[in-house]
Structure formats: C-alpha cells, structure tokens
Amino acid sequence: MPAADLADLWLYLTAPVLGMLAAVEAFRFARLGRAWFCAKLIHDDRYRCIHCGHQPGRR
Ligand SMILES: [Zn+2]
C-alpha cells in the first residue's frame, strides 16, 4: 500500500472489528446452551478453573 493512497484504508480498519464480532457470534453458537463452555476439555474436580470459573465439586 503506497503511503499516499488511502482509498482502501477502510478495509484495514473494519476487517478486524468485523472479525472480532464474527468470533463472538461463533463462540455463542458453539456454546449451544451448555452451562460450562471452556477451552479445557476436562475439568479436574480438585482444582478451580481459572478460565471459566468452574468450582470443584460443582457441575
Ligand atoms: Zn474451565
């Protein structure tokens, strides 16, 4: 991109925001009503999860 040509600058400003919004909607769709939705596949009941707030002894 030449320094003086700003005609396509809108793409660099809007694409990251639209990507973030699409990621939020994809996350909400993938959750599908599950109470716990976390990057960890298995929660150890001895330890609290620092990502989703899962507490030991609770499902
Ligand atoms: Zn978790």
Q: Could you give the dihedral angle defined by the CA atoms of residues 11, 17, 19 and 24, in that order, rounded to the nearest 10 degrees? A: -170
Assign 2 a pLDDT band (cuts: 50, 70, 90).
low
Cβ neighbours of residue 48 under 8 Å, at least 6 residues apart? 54, 55, 56
Could you tell me the distance, in angstroms and rounded to a whole number, from the CA of residue 22 to the centre of ligand 1? 22
Confidence label for 4 from pLDDT (cuts 50, 70 and 90): confident
User: How many angstroms does the Cα of residue 52 sit away from the middle of ligand 1?
Assistant: 4
Classify residue 19 as exposed, middle or buried by CB count within 10 Å of its CB (0-12, 13-18, 19+): exposed
Report yes or no: 29 and 23 within 8 Å, Cβ to Cβ: no
When the pLDDT of each residue in the chain is averaged and rounded to a whole number, the result is 84
Rounded distance from Cα 28 to ligand 1 centre (Å) = 16
Give the global pTM.
Answer: 0.51
